Structure 1
Amino acid sequence: MAARAPRNDGSSLTSQQLDGLRSKVKGKVVVKGHASDEEYRPLLERWNAMHVKEANIIVLPENEADVSETIKFIAEHTLDVAIRCGGHTYSGPSSGRGLIIDLRNMRKVSVDVEKKIAIAQGGCLAGDIERATEDVKLRVVMGAINATGCGGITTGGGIGNLSAQHGLVCDNVVAARVALADGRIVVASDTENSDLFWGIRGGGSNFGLVTEFTYKLHDCDHDVFSGVYMYTPDKMDKALELFNPLHEECVMKSDGKFAVNAIFGVAGGAVMPAFMVYYDGPEEEAKKFIKPLEDLGPMTPPSGARTVPHTASTDWAEISKMFPPDFNRIVGSSTQIDYPVSMSVLKKTVELFQQKISLFPENLGVSKLIVDLRDYTKIASVPLDATAYANRRTGMLFGIDFIWDDQKLDERMMAEAKDCIGTLRRIIKETNEQRGIADVGGHVAATTLYPLITDGEEKLVSVFGPNLQRMRELKRKYDPNVMWDKWYPVDPAELSN
């Protein structure tokens, strides 16, 4: 394959060239060194401060035509490009030093009640779509928090509390409009550009920028029961002993309505167990599923355990209060293990987390270990080759978030996080037979991680498994010069002789 021209950061573009871009787009073009700090700096902010980069050009398109013209400009000048929707990613693919296409001004949502679909512009946050649909007694499948951009969570797969009933976020997309690397806007669906439709459901931004999603909606005329049950550290063993029966007897017997995550945080240097619960129905029904948690004797009162609208259960404004604003440097990764899970693995996992936190107790004090006990049967029922998303398996999902406050510790924390998840994978491999796609490097199997909770440096086969080769072929068709290279970019397949 011929060598590709290296992408540049746009710093050498002339005023005339930048004015040419401005003349073709309705939205703003903000240039580093020309715009005021008051205008420029807020546009760089991201959920994960570790990945904030000073982009030379930020374009805020107002419409699809603006996106198209911006992409043509990027192609003409071989610019480095990143896409920002919600800016809520672990590994920083929405940041870059070249040109950022910032979709924050494209957040319109329209709902067709009769067809039970929502059409959302690519810059929408999950909350925009959730609120618009809930207002008309319908519900859209999104993730656990409403601050996530719809673009990232949809193209990356997307797991939420409704997934046990309705599948991944990407499984609920019925069509999309995609801006390709040459600036063309095309429709992707089962009947139009079906190969591209396959690719954007789990393949991230590898094939283009999605300017519009069409989601199927689900009937909803009721509130949900949601909250957190917290326990003192002395109840750790009893909390761990609940994992298997809670999953088997409660989660798996709730018809997909009961979702629960164990969350381990730190208080006074000790790891405390907690369970975040969600029941898609009234409290009276939820009671039989949360009974084991109440019997364990939570700290009273349970934090916010109450009947609320679904949109309140995903409210990031409330969840973010748990994290001081200066603790905003984050690295996370994930892995899975088949049920039933031994107490030995669970105890070793918590001990490993405790050991890492104790290295920097003042800096890592708001870090967390998440254990997802939700029902993945619906997700796993979809054939592995039906979409680009490759984590179609059941199993207990572990997610580890290291969260710290000091930029000087970035390199060390990244190393500790990688060591932590690598050690956990080895523990799982040694004690639990995994039935995955492949055994790759330090990974238990090719698809035992959740691609939206990763450090951005996992091996591609660990993210895409057996779908990787088809993705490479699509890359050659839709992005042969690798314009889109920020979220697990795949190389185009070479042409056969």
Structure 2
Amino acid sequence: MGRLSIDQLRERVRGIVVTPEDDGYDTARAVNNAMIDKTPAVVVTCANAGDVIAAVDYARENGLDLAVRGGGHSVPGFGTCDDGVVADLSAMRGVRVDPVARTARAEGGATWGDLNAATHAFGLATTGGIISTTGVGGLTLGGGIGYLARGLGLSCDNLISADVVTADGRLLVASEKENEDLFWALRGGGGNFGAVTSFEYRLAPVKDIYGGPMLFELEHAGTVLRAFQELIADAPEQFGGFPAFQIAPPLPFIPEDRHGDPFVLIVSCWSGPLDEGPRAVKPFHDIAPVVAEHVGPMPYPALNSAFDALVPPGLQHYWKANFVTELSEDAIEAHLRHGPRVPAVNSTVHIYPINGACHRVAPDATAFAYRDASFATVIAGMWPDPADNEANIAWVRDYYAATAPHSEEGGYINFMADDDQSRIKANYKGNYDRLVDVKRAYDPGNLFHLNQNIKP
């Protein structure tokens, strides 16, 4: 096939095709991370799977880079590119719930807020992330860590099927029964294998939860981390919470004279019977004196969106991450040195537990390989002023350098920065070679390379 013209692309697409000459181009090309300022040749705001096929075909036939954007939260800015094609799925946000089968199908541009709103009406949920504006696509393809993971497994563990546009422009169904190798790779292998236009999830009965944040003084940070590790090892799997370092935002439940102070937190989420919530949370509540808390019953979507205001579009982002088998004393000491220096109210450090149901999946059953890790740590540097970039990036890197020797070699790909490509083999351990084989089968030309890339 010869080169496709922009006019031919416009004729094929139901959605909106935007080029640098068009109104709205700067809005169309923007991603959440304001460090990323790229100028694609064309942004295709896709209305359906056919539009995604057209965008893929246009990029392939014209030899252009292709970026696939869902929620736009990719820290390295993989949802855009210079002089290439952006297949923007953000207009494809429909969610259809089957309450009898306890399944939901979400389009590729849906956010966790979209999915939670649809499933909550039926008292159902599946493992999502921590910020509701995150796209279901990127989170699930990388694995999918969230509040419900200890009880339900990762997002990718609850994936039943996916509709995928491959590099040759085909629309395939990937499931345990169709294109099984592709389905295996999609569950943790990132966006390496195609553009997923819809995801079908298994749901579980979760409507209201009991939980929220508890703030402790920094002098108790070591006690909090040690106690959390001990308690979470055999806590009921309906408990999904994590410790964090965070500057107190100006919220009503925090004493006004403490706004802007750094604290160590535990964010709790009990998804079992609501009347058992206070008893389930009490061991974490009693670790040390609580300075402030906002803990109680709430709809699950309310907790899933509780931190959205701290992560608006337009912040500067630089992150680092590692899987952790055990929070050793050396690791805890490193956290105690660097965590209290969190540089902005938007920045944070989370230590997500990924035991429980996550451990019951074999390391080679999906592409997500670290089934023996107990925690996924993220050092999430986020701040508004570009003038702070040098100092705050240094905080992230220094923190990472201090904790990495006490962590696993690999980390969660959804938390990786754009300078982490050298870690790709470590991120997949024994699954890497099989991922390369699947990549060769479905994308031998590496059209889908704007990601934590598995080269064919």
TM-score by length of 1: 0.83
1:173-192 aligned within 5 A: 173-192=159-178
In the alignment, residue 425 of structure 2 is paired with which amino acid?
A: V
Rounded to whole Å, the distance in 2 between the matches of 1:467 and 1:202 is 10
Rounded to whole Å, the distance in 1 between the matches of 2:345 and 2:163 is 43
In the alignment, residue 53 of structure 2 is paired with which amino acid?
A: S
1:386-425 aligned within 5 A: 386-410=365-389, 413-425=392-404
Moved more, 23-32 or 399-408: 399-408
Residue 455 of structure 2 corresponds to residue 469 of structure 1? no
Other-structure match for 2:268: 277
Other-structure match for 2:416: 454
Other-structure match for 1:432: none
Q: Could you tell me how far 1:122 is from its partner in structure 2? A: 0.8
Q: Could you tell me how far 1:410 is from its partner in structure 2? A: 3.7
Other-structure match for 1:334: 321
Rounded to whole Å, the distance in 2 between the matches of 1:288 and 1:394 is 27
Answer whether contact 1:50 1:410 (CA < 8 A) is retained. no
Rounded to whole Å, the distance in 1 between the matches of 2:327 and 2:87 is 45
Root mean square deviation, CA, Å: 2.3
In the alignment, residue 385 of structure 1 is paired with which amino acid?
A: D
Other-structure match for 2:129: 143
1:131-170 aligned within 5 A: 131-170=117-156
Other-structure match for 1:312: 302
Change (3 A) 1:365 1:253: closer
Number of positions where the alignment pairs a residue of Structure 1 with one of Structure 2: 440
Change (3 A) 1:156 1:253: same
In the alignment, residue 317 of structure 2 is paired with which amino acid?
A: I
In the alignment, residue 253 of structure 1 is paired with which amino acid?
A: A
Moved more, 406-415 or 75-84: 406-415
Other-structure match for 1:352: 338
Deviations for 1:421-473, whole angstroms, at most 9, x for unmatched residues? 122112x1xxxxxxxxxxxxxxx5444x2221121333111211111111111
Rounded to whole Å, the distance in 1 between the matches of 2:122 and 2:278 is 28
In the alignment, residue 454 of structure 1 is paired with which amino acid?
A: M
Rounded to whole Å, the distance in 2 between the matches of 1:104 and 1:200 is 20
Other-structure match for 1:230: 215
Q: Could you tell me how far 1:413 is from its partner in structure 2? A: 4.1
Change (3 A) 1:399 1:80: same
Deviations for 1:343-376, whole angstroms, at most 9, x for unmatched residues? x431332213346x5xxx5xx454222222x351
Change (3 A) 1:192 1:414: same
Moved more, 264-273 or 20-29: 264-273
Q: Could you tell me how far 1:387 is from its partner in structure 2? A: 1.3
Rounded to whole Å, the distance in 1 between the matches of 2:41 and 2:296 is 47
In the alignment, residue 171 of structure 1 is paired with which amino acid?
A: D
Answer whether contact 1:337 1:397 (CA < 8 A) is retained. yes
Other-structure match for 2:256: none
Answer whether contact 1:233 1:270 (CA < 8 A) is retained. no
Other-structure match for 1:60: 45
Answer whether contact 1:334 1:397 (CA < 8 A) is retained. yes
Rounded to whole Å, the distance in 1 between the matches of 2:375 and 2:160 is 29
Residue 35 of structure 2 corresponds to residue 50 of structure 1? yes
Deviations for 1:144-178, whole angstroms, at most 9, x for unmatched residues? 22211111011110011111111110111111111
1:35-114 aligned within 5 A: 35-36=22-23, 39-97=24-82, 98-114=84-100
Answer whether contact 1:223 1:281 (CA < 8 A) is retained. no
Answer whether contact 1:259 1:375 (CA < 8 A) is retained. no
Rounded to whole Å, the distance in 1 between the matches of 2:105 and 2:345 is 41
Rounded to whole Å, the distance in 1 between the matches of 2:324 and 2:54 is 46
Change (3 A) 1:240 1:110: closer
Q: Could you tell me how far 1:337 is from its partner in structure 2? A: 3.0
Rounded to whole Å, the distance in 2 between the matches of 1:324 and 1:151 is 19
Answer whether contact 1:244 1:341 (CA < 8 A) is retained. no
Rounded to whole Å, the distance in 2 between the matches of 1:172 and 1:129 is 14
Q: Could you tell me how far 1:114 is from its partner in structure 2? A: 2.3
Rounded to whole Å, the distance in 2 between the matches of 1:236 and 1:340 is 13
Rounded to whole Å, the distance in 2 between the matches of 1:340 and 1:234 is 18
In the alignment, residue 455 of structure 2 is paired with which amino acid?
A: D
TM-score by length of 2: 0.90
Residue 5 of structure 2 corresponds to residue 17 of structure 1? yes
